[in-house]
Amino acid sequence: MKKRRFAALCTAAAVVAGCVACGGTAQSKGQDSSQAGAGEKGKEKIKVTFIKNEWHGDPNDMEIYKILEEKTGVEVEWQVYSAATWEDKKNLILSSGDIPDVFYMNAVNVNDVTKYAPQGMFLDLTDYIEEYCPNLKKAFEEMPGYKNICINPDDGKIYSIGRAVEREVMYTSGLLYINKKWLDQLGLPVPKTVDEYYDALKAFKENDMNGNGDKGDEIPFIFHYNSSVPDTAYSYHQLFGSFGYVDPVLTVGAHFIEDENGEIVYTAEQEEYKDAIQYYHKFVKEGLWDSEGFTTPDTSVMNAKGNNDPEIVGSFMAYDSTFVVPEKYKEDYVIVEPLEGPTGKRIWQNSANSNGNVNGTQFVMTASAKGKEEAIMKWLDAHFEPEISAQLFLGPIGTTLEKTDSGMLDYVPTPDGMSYSEFRYKNAPVHVPCKIASEDWGKLVQVMDEDINKLQIAKEHYAPYATQSSLFLLPNKEESKYFTTTAKDIDDYVNKMQVKWLTEGGIEAEWDTYLEQLNKLGIDKYKETVKGIRERMAKQ
C-alpha cells in the first residue's frame, strides 16, 4: 500500500453475525482463583490451548500475539488445521469432547454452538465480560448493534464474540476481472454481453496467450465454489444476473435474494435461474471454466493459479484482484461491468443486507477452560484496546503500520514484489475479535487504499446494476435447528443439481422433476421461514 497524506472516512452500518448457544456461568470471586492475575509482574505464564482454522500466516510467528502474551501473561498453544480438512476434523473434535480451551477465528460456527452448547460444551460469557472485560464492555456500549446480535435471543446470554470492524467497502460485492493484455493481443474489446464474454474466453482457450509454446495451459476463467464454504465474491453466481436473478450462496438462506421491489425471491426455482445454468453449461463443457473450482475448499487454489509464472488466467471473480493475482500482474486485469444477457438484463448483487465486516463466531470459550476463565477473558479484552485492534486487523506497528506525528496509524510502503493483501495477511490474523468503528477510519488509522479503490470501482462500474441483495438472517434457536436439518437437505439437493447441470447438462429435461422434488422437500416452509425471519428483524 502506498503512503497517503489525506484522510477519508468510511461510513458503514454495524451488523453482526448471530451468536447463539447456552453454557456455564462465570466463576464466583475466590473460586479456583489460582490462575488469576495473568500478566502481573512475577506471575507464572498461564498456558491455554486454542484451535483455529488455517488462515493467513502462522500465529506463532505473528508479532501481535507476542504483544498480547507480554501484556497478559497468557501463552497460547496454537493448534492449526488445514481448511481443506477442517470440517471433518472439527466434527470429530466436537463429537469426541476432546476440545481446546478456545475455538478461535471462526473455527466453529453458529450452528455448531447451537448444537453443542446444550451439552455444556461452551461457556456463557455474560458475567465474565462484566467482570473482566472493560474494553469489550465499552465496545458494546459504543456499538449497540454489535452487542445486541451477540446476545442469544433465547436466553439473553452471550456465548461467542465476533469481530466489529465497520467498513463501507464490505457492503459491496465481488468484482469480475479479465486479462486486458490478452484481449489486446487478440484485438478483442472488453466484453459487454454474455456472448462477447464467451467469445473472449474461447479465444483465450484456443491460443497460446502467454507465449510459452503450450496452448493447453491457459485457464480462461477460474472461480471458487464449494457449497460447504460458500463465498459469492469468488464464484460465478453473480453472472446469473445477466438472466434476471443473481444467485447468492450462503450458509444460511442460500439462493434467496431481495429483488429491486423489496420482494424475497427463491432464485433456484425461477425460469431465469434455469436459463442461466443452461447457458453457462457450454462454458464448462468447452473447458472455459476451470471445473476444479467446484470442489476446492477455499480460495488458495485460485490464488496459486493467479500467481503462476507465466500467467495462465484469463478471467476471475474476486473481492479485489490482489486477492488472486500478484502485484506484477495486477495491471494486466481490468474490470468487466455486469454483462448484458439475451433479454437485456444487467443485474449485479449488492450487499446492503449483509453483515458487512462485523461478524462472529471469532471466539468461543469451552468447558475445558474452567479455572482459567479470568486469564483468557483478559487476553480477549486486550483485543479491544484501539491500537491492538488495529494491529490485529492490519498488522503490527513497525511492520505494516507506523505511527505518524499526529498519532494516527498509517501504512508503511508495501515491499517490492508483494501486493498489499499478501503483506497484510502474512502479518495480521484479520479474522479475529477486534473493534474499529466507522469513525476510527481517518482518525485512529488511515483508510485502506484497497477500500478507496474498490468503493470507486463499485460506484463507477456496478452501482447502477446492483439492484438485488443477498439476505443476512438471524435465526432463533428453533429456526437454527431447521436450517441445519430440513433447510440443509434442500440446500444440498439444489447445490448438487446445480453443479450436475453445469458440468453435465440436462437441466431442461429434468427441470419439472426437480421442482416436484423441491416441493416434496418442503420448499414452501423454507420460504415461509426466511420471510418470517426478515419480518421479525425489520421490527427490531
3-state helix/strand/coil string of 405-454: CCCCEEECCCCCCCCHHHHHHHHCCCCCCCEECHHHECCCECCCHHHHHH
Which comes out higher in pLDDT, residue 22 or 146?
146
Residues 223 and 333 in one domain: yes
444 vs 386: CA distance, rounded Å: 8
Note whether residue 114 is domain-resident.
yes
Q: Is 530 helix (H, G, I), strand (E, B) or coil?
A: helix
Q: What average pLDDT does the segment 441-448 reach?
A: 93
Query: Grid coordinates standing for 505?
Result: 447438462
Note whether residue 502 is domain-resident.
no
pLDDT band at 487 (very low <50, low <70, confident <90, very high): very high
Note whether residue 377 is domain-resident.
yes
Percent pLDDT > 90 in the chain is 63
Q: What are phi and psi of 415, to 5 degrees?
A: -60, 145
**Range with the poorest average pLDDT among 351-355, 414-418, 521-525:** 351-355
Residues 377 and 326 in one domain: no
266 has a pLDDT exceeding 80: yes
For 382-403, how does the pLDDT look when each residue is reduced to its tens digit (9 = 90+)?
A: 999 999 999 999 999 999 999 9
Contact yes or no for 145/339 (Cβ under 8 A): no
Compute the Cα dihedral for 316, 321, 327, 330 and give only its sign: positive
pLDDT band at 540 (very low <50, low <70, confident <90, very high): low
Q: Where is the domain boundary, 473, 494, 517?
A: 473
Note whether residue 227 is domain-resident.
yes
Which own/partner pairs from 474-478 qualify as long-range (CB within 8 Å, at least 24 positions apart)? 474/18, 474/149, 474/153, 474/533, 474/537, 475/18, 475/252, 475/533, 476/20, 476/153, 476/154, 477/20, 477/114, 477/152, 477/153, 477/154
56 vs 67: CA distance, rounded Å: 18
108 has a pLDDT exceeding 50: yes
Contacts of 6 (CB under 8 A, 6+ apart): none
User: Within 13 A of 489's CA, how many CA atoms are on the CB side?
Assistant: 13
Residue type, 259: D
Q: What average pLDDT does the segment 291-297 reach?
A: 87
Note whether residue 391 is domain-resident.
no
Note whether residue 525 is domain-resident.
no
**pLDDT on residue 1:** 44
297 vs 288: CA distance, rounded Å: 21
Q: What are phi and psi of 266, to 5 degrees?
A: -90, 105
Percent pLDDT > 70 in the chain is 89
Residue type, 336: V
Note whether residue 29 is domain-resident.
no
User: Within 13 A of 86's CA, how many CA atoms are on the CB side?
Assistant: 22
Residues 344 and 211 in one domain: yes
Residues 211 and 157 in one domain: no
Residues 182 and 330 in one domain: yes
Q: What average pLDDT does the segment 213-239 reach?
A: 88
Note whether residue 187 is domain-resident.
yes
83 has a pLDDT exceeding 80: no
154 has a pLDDT exceeding 90: no
Q: Among residues 4, 10, 46, which one has the least CA distance to residue 455?
A: 10
User: Within 13 A of 361's CA, how many CA atoms are on the CB side?
Assistant: 25
Contact yes or no for 389/444 (Cβ under 8 A): no
Residues 282 and 366 in one domain: no
**pLDDT on residue 382:** 98
For 159-181, how does the pLDDT look when each residue is reduced to its tens digit (9 = 90+)?
A: 999 899 888 777 678 899 999 99
Contact yes or no for 56/428 (Cβ under 8 A): yes
Residues 85 and 113 in one domain: yes
CATH number of the CATH domain containing 77: 3.40.190.10
Query: Grid coordinates standing for 213?
Result: 509454446
Using the 8-state DSSP alphabet, how is residue 209 labeled? T
Q: Where is the domain boundary, 444, 473, 502?
A: 473
Residues 135 and 223 in one domain: no
Residues 235 and 262 in one domain: yes
**pLDDT on residue 229:** 67
| Domain membership of residue 303 as a residue range | 173-350+468-473
301 vs 317: CA distance, rounded Å: 13
Query: Grid coordinates standing for 497?
Result: 443439481
Residue 176, strand partner residues: 317, 336
Q: Where is the domain boundary, 440, 473, 506?
A: 473
**Range with the poorest average pLDDT among 89-103, 143-157, 221-235, 398-412:** 143-157
Q: What average pLDDT does the segment 370-384 reach?
A: 97
Residues 123 and 178 in one domain: no
378 vs 300: CA distance, rounded Å: 34
500 has a pLDDT exceeding 50: yes
Residues 100 and 249 in one domain: no
Number of other residues whose CB lies within 10 A of the CB of residue 145: 16
Using the 8-state DSSP alphabet, how is residue 84 labeled? T
Contacts of 264 (CB under 8 A, 6+ apart): 256, 257, 258, 471, 527, 530, 531, 534
Residues 120 and 251 in one domain: no
Contact yes or no for 248/470 (Cβ under 8 A): yes
Query: Grid coordinates standing for 336?
Result: 468487466
Helical segments of 187-342, H only: 194-206, 271-285, 300-306, 327-330
pLDDT band at 143 (very low <50, low <70, confident <90, very high): confident
Tally of domains in the chain: 2
